[in-house]
Amino acid sequence: DQRLSHKDMYMAMAELKNDLERKQLPPHELLARHVQQVQAQLAFVETLRDRTEHSLRAHLTDLEALLVEQVEAAAAILERKERRIHELSAANAALSKQAEERAEVAEREAARQAR
């Protein structure tokens, strides 16, 4: 509790001191101080904007690299899958042809045995 009251007293005294300084300063100096404060705030905002922009650009570059990497990996997987589909289609065609030939041979054998 004492810390708070001492802190409150300190803040009140600082505020009184600032008020007294303002009252003693001519209006143009008060305006100049205000302009300096605004300029300092603008400089801070500009610095913050620059840092944010730099950070966002770096993050965007990282995301682009990751996207390219993932697209390339997906393309490689797709290519392997397409190659496998073609291999299986060719094997299926060969097996179908063999099955047809065997069916024809079996049909001829059955016809020959029926005679």
The pLDDT value recorded for residue 63 is 98
Token pair for residue 107? Answer: 């049909």
DSSP state of 25: S
* 24-65 pLDDT tens trace: 767 687 688 788 988 988 898 999 999 999 999 999 999 999
Question: Distance of alpha carbon 104 from its chain centroid, rounded?
Answer: 62
